[in-house]
Amino acid sequence: MLATKEWLPFDGRAEQLILLLHGWGASGASMAPLGAALRKAFPQAAVLAPDAPNPVDGERPGRQWYSVQDLDARNWPERVAAALPGLRAWVQAQQQRLGVGPAATALGGFSQGAVLSLELAARHDGIAGRVLSFGGRYCLLPEVAPRHTTMHLFHGSADTVIPAQGSRDALEHLGALQGDATLDIAEGIGHEVHPALIGCALNRLRSHIPLRTWQSALGAAQRVNRDED
């Protein structure tokens, strides 16, 4: 079981579930500024930030979702894939425990945590209604865009750890596949969950209507029109 920082509703059951995955060498507590902002904006949401299951390589403190020792483009996808089954089981366990379905779940993360969020949604479409990726990228761009998950990408323009071009490429790629994705880039911001990007995330969660909702409404309107003809 992962040690988890939790912000739960003061009263009543959770209506939304927001899961936040930290970056390499950190812990769930490092997601506190984002978690607190989400809790304030969505008081009936349960916001959870777990510690990654593994200690970082070497002597330094902190946790990791996968090892970065000798990491390169060839072994990166394998290491991420190996971390996904345990993460998927944990996500589904929290949904069951708190009584919140996938459509009302948002899966977010920073850096290494964002990578896992993107890749989990790519392999298990609909495990969450939305993904919030801060300073992350795909290991490999997906062949098929998720149909039941909206991808929200947030990046600092001055990020030198995971450059923002990866998010730009993902937005273009998902758009070409008829996927539902947004991108916000904060000028002059580096590799961090900056308050400006947190503000962008809150705005997307409040105002973005998923493409699947538009398509469902359009389909319903077309059926009504056919019935009236």
One-letter-per-residue 3-state SS of 123-176? HCCCCCCEEEEECCCCCCCCCCCCCCCEEEEEEECCCCCCCCHHHHHHHHHHHH
CB 184 within 8 A of CB 208: no
Separate counts of helices (H) and strands (E) for the chain: 6, 9
The residue behind tokens 């990791």 is 64
Q: Identity (one letter) of the amino acid at 183?
A: L
pLDDT tens sequence across 180-207: 999 999 999 999 999 999 999 999 999 9
Catalytic residue among 27, 30, 111, 167: 111
Read off the tokens for 163: 């450059």
pLDDT at residue 223 in the model? 42
Q: Which is more confidently placed, 221 or 121? A: 121
Q: Region 116-127: what's the mean pLDDT?
A: 96
Taking the C-alpha atoms of residue 83 and residue 204, their distance in angstroms, rounded to an integer, is 28
pLDDT surpassing 60 at residue 224:
no
Read off the tokens for 79: 């290491």
Catalytic residue among 159, 167, 180, 194: 159
Q: Which is more confidently placed, 11 or 137? A: 137
CB 133 within 8 A of CB 154: yes
The pTM score is 0.91
**Mean pLDDT of the residues in the chain:** 91
Catalytic residue list contains 30: no
Q: Computed over its alpha carbons, how large is the radius of gyration of the chain?
A: 18
pLDDT tens sequence across 55-102: 998 878 899 999 999 999 899 999 999 999 999 999 999 999 999 999
Read off the tokens for 22: 């930290």
Q: Region 207-223: what's the mean pLDDT?
A: 59
Catalytic residue list contains 191: yes
The domain ranges of the chain are: 4-228
CATH number belonging to domain 4-228: 3.40.50.1820
CB 93 within 8 A of CB 19: no
Please name which of 94, 93, 150, 139 lies closest in space to residue 116, comparing C-alpha atoms.
139
Catalytic residue list contains 152: no
Catalytic residue among 124, 152, 155, 191: 191
